[in-house]
Amino acid sequence: PILWPACIEQMSSLPNFRLMEDNMPSHCSDFRNTACEKERIPKMNWSTNSLDLNPIEHIWHLM
């Protein structure tokens, strides 16, 4: 829910916007899923523990 205002803002300017999530249990609660659907935030589901597939994992050391 913290990122949703930014997500909604991005959705208005980027038609292909997707919220990328890693399917961790804390990201998959019924409350969160229902609220995300209510706000119409499109999701891109991602495998849990697929760090090698997550682009951000390759640049953390640069930040």
| Residue 37, burial from CB neighbour count under 10 angstroms (0-12, 13-18, 19+) | exposed
* pLDDT for res 52: 65
pTM confidence score: 0.54
Along the 63 residues of the chain, how does pLDDT read in single tens digits? 678 888 888 888 988 888 877 777 776 788 878 888 888 888 877 666 666 666 776 777 777
Please give the pLDDT value at position 48.
64
Report the pLDDT value the prediction gives residue 32, as an integer from 0 to 100: 79
Other CB atoms within 10 A of residue 63 CB: 5
| Helices 30-39 + 4-13 axis angle, to 10 | 30
